[in-house]
Structure 1
């Protein structure tokens, strides 16, 4: 059927109007290997309910540190995304610099916001002063990953509960011919495992603006790492290589974030995989740091339509429906109670490996940011110090502790 000139003009006008009504929201997030599948799963439902909003995905951040550095650079160049995902321990600096916007004006317009699943315990992770600046998207805890085929072949039936148990299991596996019995995630983002060992002793790495690296608990953490690395003869693997090696069945035990569970399961070889609680330093950990990230509004647009569209996306991905996809596609726990109590009612019964982190929720503690503008530099100092233990370059932990204390002191606002 031929269209008349008038009909064609009307059609073109309608198409132009539709294109004009389409609002683009630019979005950036970390860890493509973990989250690409999550956002792919979310998009159909979002597009169905928001047909006039286009989500433009930017290049993914390599890590949380990379994400924060990128946002800080983009704030100077005037090229910020509308919504960004930032590590829970990296929100403060974006709030302090006025880059992350308060979400209170949007929340105030929502009817029964808490009933949508958000509640004070989770919103507090992203509350600064009296204002919510982010909505938590995913929460993780450290866990143990076990190749039960390798363990059973070495005669190990019981999962370790302490690091001494882990070391004993390493020695048993090595005696049985296992070349690489264990990987321990020292190089995970934000010194997370250092903080895990500190919180295991109920000690915060930052207390009232002071970094507590000079504490007995910090020395005990360094000594515990040295024991693990040396007695298990741990190979110095880059973290992506370690995850791939474990998935391929080449490592007996891996200690990492529960966040990687979905990725490990998707690439897993033919072996029996089990997860277990994060071991303690002689006893059950007294606390563990909450990993994960939050969605923050960083849009510089003055257009109310862009602002509302960015809020719609931010709200959707952290809603019960969005958070449920996080749990299904990764190993993260959704910080939205609607996802846990309604949408995922039977999920954890059917996925016991993902239940492990949920069982550790009573141990949840803050993943602490280092004070001042040099927080990322302090992270690097601690990373470099731990790497020296891994490589064997540092053998005296008291000496290493003192060196780290002095380097960090130079980077603190108060010296």
Structure 2
């Protein structure tokens, strides 16, 4: 009996110590409809490997813009999460304001960090002044989604490679009784598709601290959007409604991020879905912006155990094992060679629709944020301008360009 009581006492003591050692960290991420299933798939392995770490999930951010605004407010209130997922184009403001913290000390302590396989090109998207401030979690590129049943009914068997071919396919579908042949993702976060049209011409939207909306390439982009919207008679759908309409089989072609592929497949109606490369203005695009997000350390805790736990979580979700779940549950590409080359060795061969974005990786360019404290306001100015094209309120693209340039200039630090 005495031995039994002693054993029980030791067990209770160990349990108490374990409970005291339990560390809770807080984590926030965007786009619940895309990523909820990803984190659900990750958690069992993480909990098994790190039973002493509890990850408390905060309310999800609606978008990357919302993620930045939320963190900026939380920084003022002193209520930041320990780890925050931020859009690749929204990292710089958080670094500049000292909200995101350098990961260099943690990386230096990892003897095998380099062998974990992070793509240098992707890691560079989170590198500022030669220090890493975020680990890329998911990378996306724009692609085309095609309802092949609708296309074949109109006699279309080849995927379009240029926007002229897309417009021709629209007209064929309209003549064949399709009410809404296309959704083109003008309203995707961060003016991403505007940047896609500029990078297609090998032109960055920000150069030397100025926004290049006054460039000839920007006018070409505006005119191309107008042609797509008007010639295809595109309906002005809110983006979630557009994804639902395509999944239901009501839209013939959708141009959006590869990120939504998992969500589309899970809700897909009875039709053949095929993805294809993002069309170009005249031939293949010369470049495309890298979408996606990175995990950033934003903890204000001075407890070394909390900070170490936050790093453990951040490292796990971007590692080979964690990143593989990104590919399996979404359409994002893992930014980790271990995931792509080892864990997912046969995955892309068996999932050709997810291979499309991987094939476009040589086109990867930076997704650029606008300079200064008014970067989000500039995003909104361009968003509002493009919506005027969609609704038909703006018909003269040169005039619209001049208006946008003037409004943006007022928001830039250098005027």
TM-score, with length taken from structure 1:
0.98
Which secondary structure does the structure 1 equivalent of 2:251 belong to? coil
Question: Deviations along 1:336-377, whole A, 9 cap, x unmatched?
Answer: 011111111111100000000011111110000100111000
**Structure-2 separation of matches of 1:131 and 1:286:** 29
Corresponding position: 1:172 with 2:172: yes
Alpha-carbon RMSD across the aligned residues, in angstroms, is 1.5
Question: Deviations along 1:205-258, whole A, 9 cap, x unmatched?
Answer: 001111000001000000000000001000000000000000000000000000
Aligned-residue offset at 1:4: 8.8
Match of residue 279 from structure 1: 279
Distance change in 2, residues 1:119/1:250 (3 Å): closer
Aligned-residue offset at 1:122: 2.1
Match of residue 186 from structure 1: 186
Q: 1:248-327 to 2 correspondence within 5 Å?
A: 248-327=248-327
Distance change in 2, residues 1:11/1:342 (3 Å): closer
Match of residue 328 from structure 2: 328
Unaligned runs of 5+ in 1: none
Which secondary structure does the structure 2 equivalent of 1:213 belong to? coil
Match of residue 207 from structure 1: 207
Aligned-residue offset at 1:15: 3.5
Match of residue 37 from structure 1: 37
Match of residue 68 from structure 2: 68
Aligned-residue offset at 1:78: 0.3
Match of residue 50 from structure 1: 50
Which secondary structure does the structure 2 equivalent of 1:292 belong to? strand
Match of residue 219 from structure 2: 219
Q: 1:335-350 to 2 correspondence within 5 Å?
A: 335-350=335-350
**Structure-1 separation of matches of 2:279 and 2:265:** 22
Corresponding position: 1:95 with 2:102: no
Aligned-residue offset at 1:326: 0.3
Aligned-residue offset at 1:321: 0.5
Which secondary structure does the structure 2 equivalent of 1:252 belong to? strand
Unaligned runs of 5+ in 2: none
Aligned-residue offset at 1:5: 8.3
Which secondary structure does the structure 1 equivalent of 2:81 belong to? coil
Match of residue 110 from structure 1: 110
**Structure-2 separation of matches of 1:340 and 1:7:** 48
Distance change in 2, residues 1:233/1:119 (3 Å): closer
